[in-house]
Each structure stands twice: as structure tokens, then as C-alpha cells.
């Protein structure tokens, strides 16, 4: 994820994101845009090239929709992996894309709330929390007590996560409070365009809650570095950023209309303003 080719990249509408208030919970990640980009923004956008491939046979399983090569790695298999990574901006998007591919491959979606009627030769999967997916195939000759193999991987990647209260003002600029997630090469996140992706939980008019995946396919913020005359020792002593104070992305210059509830001295917000309105538009 700290590399220039990042995981999540569907191709959403260019229209601005609309969310219906009130918003009960915001769980977004800052990512590098699909590199083809996480979380959220990346200056040259190095996306994987689109791939052209034949339709997948029904027998193909899991994440690859490409025919397997008999001896050497096939470009179509590599392209399929890149396509999947480009769709997987966050663990939520990675799970959604895996779910889509499994359904297309003939897998049956199960619910953990139901009794399962598994059959020999059947292929099934279930998800949990929109961020975890378990898929399995029952062998034609499988009998209870026989052995089985498990292959596991994680769906999340290092990224910058929005703090529960991300809005702040510093020296007349609107900043976004973030925290590091995972073991990222954080110095590579400086001076790059970043964007947002993740999951939001919305409260509907009837009082129920709905989950919605979000990703903004354009740059929104940036983590700037200091000019050399403000950091004279950077070339001799190296770049040593403070992840708590130096990694806060810059959203915009201060404007009265959107920061009327902010305290410029303390960098805090009113209890009603948790995230910058500009960030939520």
C-alpha cells in the first residue's frame, strides 16, 4: 500500500458524493488514488493498464476470471490480479469485489444466521462486517472427517485513517486529523495528491442504519513537506517526520463560511462539527 500501485479502484461516477443527514458514523480511509491507487490520494496517478481478456469459464474460482496458463504465468492472470487490486481501495471494497467475482463464478452466498445445507461439489461463501470473506468448495468425494486445506490473507492495507474528530484549524488552514494504520512507508505519503475511501453508516428517516461504500476518484488533500529554508538539516540528517504532527493533510485555506464554529487558537471544533463540511461534500 505504501507503493505507488495501490489496491482500491473502481470507476465511480464523477458526480459529487451525496450523503443524507444525519450521519451516524464515518469510517473513511485516506488512500492513494488508484494507480491504476487507501482509506486515499496520489500525485502522479500510476494506474495499471486496463486488461482485455476472454470471458471466464464457470469453473474458474475465487479472484481470477482469467483462463489459467498450462506452464508459464499468463498476462491475463497478472492483469486480473491488477484489476482486483485496483478495485480494492479499502478492506470493504476488497471484500465487495471478491464477493462480486465469486457470485459471477457460481458461488452461493450463505448467511451466518441460517442453517446451511452444504452439498458435495458445492461452492459457497459468506461475509462478515463487510470486511471479511470466507469462501470454500466441498469436494465431490468429501466425507466428514477428511482433511482440508485453508488459504488465508488479509483484506486491509496500511493507510491513513480519519480520526473520530478530524476537523482542525492550524495557522489559517483547514487540516484533517489522521492516524496511521498498519506498517506503512509513511514518508512516501508526503507531497502526493490523496483522496478518501471507506465505509459510512447512515441513519435512514425510519430510524434504521444503512452501510454505504464510498470512494472519491479525484484528489482532495495533500500532506506537504517544508521548504528547505525551513528545514535546513533535512539533507544532512535525513527526513524524520513526526507522524502525529507532520502527517496531517491540508484540505484548504481557512474560509469563514465553513469554519465559523472553529477555534483558531486551539485548533478545535464545536461539538456539532466533527469533520470539515468541505470533506463531506
Q: Assign 16 a pLDDT band (cuts: 50, 70, 90).
A: very low
Read off the pTM. Answer: 0.67
Alpha helices per DSSP H over 63-147: 75-87, 91-104
pLDDT for position 91: 95
Mean pLDDT over each residue of the chain, to the nearest integer: 76
Phi-psi region of 274 (alpha: psi -120 to 50; beta: other; left: phi over 0): alpha
Q: Assign 162 a pLDDT band (cuts: 50, 70, 90).
A: very high
Q: Assign 73 a pLDDT band (cuts: 50, 70, 90).
A: low
Instruction: Give Cα 8 to chain centroid, integer Å.
Output: 6
Q: What average pLDDT does this structure show over 246-250?
A: 92
CA 68 → CA 49, 55, 62, 86, 121, distances in Å?
A: 20, 12, 13, 21, 21
29 burial via Cβ count (<10 Å: 0-12, 13-18, 19+)? buried
pLDDT for position 215: 93
Separation CA 56–CA 66 (nearest Å):
6
Helix axis angle, 91-104 relative to 75-87, nearest 10°?
A: 130
Q: Which CATH architecture has domain 162-194+224-280?
A: Roll (2.30)
**pLDDT > 60? residue 199:** yes
pLDDT in tens, 219-243: 999 999 988 998 899 999 999 988 9
Separation CA 40–CA 239 (nearest Å):
22
Separation CA 247–CA 194 (nearest Å):
12
Q: Which three cell numbers stand for residue 253?
A: 485555506
Let me know the angle formed at the C-alpha of 105 by 103 and 107, rounded to the nearest 5 degrees. 55
**pLDDT > 90? residue 151:** yes
- Half-sphere exposure of 281 toward its Cβ, with a 13 Å CA cutoff? 7
Q: Is 256 helix (H, G, I), strand (E, B) or coil?
A: helix
Separation CA 186–CA 182 (nearest Å):
10
Closest CA to 177 of 82, 247, 238: 247
Residue 160 · residue 38 · CB < 8 Å: yes
pLDDT in tens, 110-140: 999 999 999 999 999 999 999 999 999 999 9
Q: Which three cell numbers stand for residue 19?
A: 450523503
**pLDDT > 80? residue 79:** yes
pLDDT for position 273: 74
Instruction: Cell 469485489: give the residue.
Output: 97
Separation CA 36–CA 55 (nearest Å):
22
**pLDDT > 90? residue 63:** no
CA 141 → CA 91, 138, 228, 256, distances in Å?
A: 34, 8, 68, 70
Strands (E), 4-99: 23-31
Amino acid at each position: 500500500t505504501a507503493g505507488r500501485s495501490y489496491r482500491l479502484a473502481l470507476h465511480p461516477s464523477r458526480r459529487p458524493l451525496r450523503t443524507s443527514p444525519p450521519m451516524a458514523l464515518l469510517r473513511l480511509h485516506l488512500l492513494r488514488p488508484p494507480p491504476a491507487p487507501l482509506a486515499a490520494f496520489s500525485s502522479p496517478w500510476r494506474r495499471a493498464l486496463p486488461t482485455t481478456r476472454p470471458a471466464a469459464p464457470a469453473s474458474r474460482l475465487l479472484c481470477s476470471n482469467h483462463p489459467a496458463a498450462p506452464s508459464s504465468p499468463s498476462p491475463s492472470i497478472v492483469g486480473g490480479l491488477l484489476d482486483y487490486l485496483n478495485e480494492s481501495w479499502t478492506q470493504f471494497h476488497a471484500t465487495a469485489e471478491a464477493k462480486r467475482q465469486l457470485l459471477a463464478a457460481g458461488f452461493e452466498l450463505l448467511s451466518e444466521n441460517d442453517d446451511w445445507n452444504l452439498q458435495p461439489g458445492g461452492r459457497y461463501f459468506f461475509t462478515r462486517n463487510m470486511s471479511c470473506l470466507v469462501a470454500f468448495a466441498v469436494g465431490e468425494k468429501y466425507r466428514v472427517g477428511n482433511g482440508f486445506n485453508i488459504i488465508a490473507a488479509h483484506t486491509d492495507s496500511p493507510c491513513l485513517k480519519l480520526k473520530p474528530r478530524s476537523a482542525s484549524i492550524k495557522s489559517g488552514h483547514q487540516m484533517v486529523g489522521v492516524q496511521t494504520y498498519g506498517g506503512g512507508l509513511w514518508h512516501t505519503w508526503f507531497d502526493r495528491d490523496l483522496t478518501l475511501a471507506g465505509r459510512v453508516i447512515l441513519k435512514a428517516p425510519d430510524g434504521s442504519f444503512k452501510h454505504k461504500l464510498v470512494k472519491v476518484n479525484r484528489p482532495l488533500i495533500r500532506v506537504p513537506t517544508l521548504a528547505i529554508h525551513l528545514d535546513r538539516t533535512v539533507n544532512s540528517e535525513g527526513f524524520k517526520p513526526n507522524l502525529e504532527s507532520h502527517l496531517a493533510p491540508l484540505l484548504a485555506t481557512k474560509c469563514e463560511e465553513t469554519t465559523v464554529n472553529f477555534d483558531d487558537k486551539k485548533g478545535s471544533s464545536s461539538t456539532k462539527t466533527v469533520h470539515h463540511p468541505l470533506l463531506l461534500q
